[in-house]
Structure 1
């Protein structure tokens, strides 16, 4: 296994790392710019309402506060651990880009109506920046982006208690979005599959950067 412990000065010396990082950041910025119109289109389409026995048996409650407290603490902790580790950060950003690509694809292919009993999940940050639409966005369903994001961070950070903490946070978010009836059970169950695929693909795409950086450092 190639080491991912290079420092920023060491990693930045390598042109491949710089080009990959700038490319991924540019694509993420482009994606962020395109998301408002995409989600407005998703919201305007008619969709299907799926039967969900678990949600039918689970009373709905507004848990937006705890949900976003866990999400933003998890993101802050994960990013703080990744920032000093450039190769891990590049892999995580690449996986995040792929994850959102998969999510846009699944949202485009599977139009859904919100689950019965939905309590609107209000994100104080994302609602203002990305989901610019005349009405609240409730149809961004398959798959759960909140669950997937925290799981991705858990995979990306070094092993140990931070990873275990992020895994617990991922489980908590999976439960909370179901309590809110903000997602179908299927959305939550699918999130780990797409997260694992995105992280694996990102690992393949960034492995050459790590190998090249290690080889040049040995010269």
Structure 2
């Protein structure tokens, strides 16, 4: 049976009937949890260190403009849509979670190698979800730079969507979020430009690992 002719319930039944898929799914969930726990500590350490500030030519032309609410409308609407889609397709769901873990790893490496302080004109983005994973002292992150995690996440979801129409929707939402991020000076422009590239790298690496294990 193909994905297009089966129901979500049938897909999950097929998934659970395959022992290797179940084991892989459990391992994926464990890795994601451990990744997020480690990521939390790393982000707190990043907030305590000093970094480099550089002049952003685009920032000198645009903003800063407080677009916090439009940013979160786009971000969380996209995440809810993605969750709704992926929960009906277990193989896509776990594949995306594995790619996300790789993306987090890439971001950690980039931040570790290139410590940056936020732009002088930044308007902090108060993210209620990030606050769940950080201490109250650092609930608003400002130094998690190079590259934009929000932009990269939506770009990864665009790559992971099962249909062309959904990919277009997520490309548009990624573009909107990237624009808002630059306008608010939350990230340097280069952070936003690199984010989709990092997402593509994580997507390709995950696909390569999956092909090797087949």
Specify if TM > 0.5: yes
Unaligned runs of 5+ in 1: 212-219
Check if 1:38 corresponds to 2:42: yes
Higher relative contact order (CA closer than 8 Å, sequence separation 6+) = 1
Partner of 1:58: 62
Q: What is the deviation of 1:32?
A: 2.0
Assess, with a 3 A threshold, how the Cα gap between structure 1 residues 4 and 89 changes in structure 2: closer, same or farther: farther
Unaligned runs of 5+ in 2: none
Question: TM-score, with normalisation over the residues of structure 2?
Answer: 0.90
Q: What is the deviation of 1:79?
A: 1.4
Partner of 1:188, secondary structure, is helix
Among 140, 145, 152, the alignment partner of 1:141 is: 145
Q: What is the deviation of 1:208?
A: 6.3
Q: What is the deviation of 1:98?
A: 0.3
Does the Cα contact within 8 Å between 2:32 and 2:98 map onto a contact in 1?
A: no
Partner of 2:27: 23
Q: What is the deviation of 1:207?
A: 3.9
Partner of 2:75: 71
Does the Cα contact within 8 Å between 1:82 and 1:88 map onto a contact in 2?
A: yes
Partner of 2:134: 131
Q: What is the deviation of 1:17?
A: 1.3
- Map of 1:90-105 to 2, 5 A cutoff? 90-105=94-109
How many equivalent residue pairs? 207
Question: TM-score, with normalisation over the residues of structure 1?
Answer: 0.89
Partner of 2:122, secondary structure, is coil
Runs of 4+ in 1 over 3 A off after TM superposition: 3-6
